[in-house]
């Protein structure tokens, strides 16, 4: 973790980069925790993703797991990082029922 103007910078559990801080229009930080990285990596139930990994890795995998139309998913999948993720091998967590 690094520090950014009195705020600790969390590391993205996917790319290991800094988790983005969300700011108001005035520049005041209002969120530093990133995004839930499930199902990519859970890290004891608390994996966090940066904005880029959330948009380009986590959300496309969630869409695939929900059975998103293959044509729609193909458009989203093109934005995955070079390190391809085999979404068919990701095991979802057990139901909480």
> Please, what is the average pLDDT of the chain?
75
Q: Which of 94, 20, 74 is nearest to 50 (CA)?
A: 20
Domain ranges of the chain: 2-82
pLDDT value of residue 8 = 81
- Considering only CA atoms, which of 15, 16, 51 is closest in space to residue 33? 51
Over residues 62-94, the pLDDT tens digits come to 888 888 765 666 666 666 554 455 555 544 444
Higher pLDDT, 27 or 94: 27
pTM: 0.63
10 vs 93: which has the higher pLDDT = 10
Give the pLDDT mean for 30-39.
92
* Contacts for 8 with CB less than 8 Å, ≥ 6 apart: 1, 2, 32
């Amino acid at each position: 973790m690094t520090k950014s103007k009195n705020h600790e910078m969390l590391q993205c559990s996917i790319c290991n980069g800094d988790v983005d801080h969300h700011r108001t229009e005035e520049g005041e930080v209002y969120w530093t925790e990133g995004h839930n990285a499930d199902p990519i990596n859970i890290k004891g139930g608390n994996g966090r993703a940066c904005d880029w990994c959330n948009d380009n890795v986590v959300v496309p995998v969630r869409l695939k797991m929900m059975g998103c139309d293959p044509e729609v998913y193909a458009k989203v999948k093109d934005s995955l990082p070079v390190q391809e993720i085999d979404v068919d091998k990701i095991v979802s967590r057990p139901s909480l029922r």
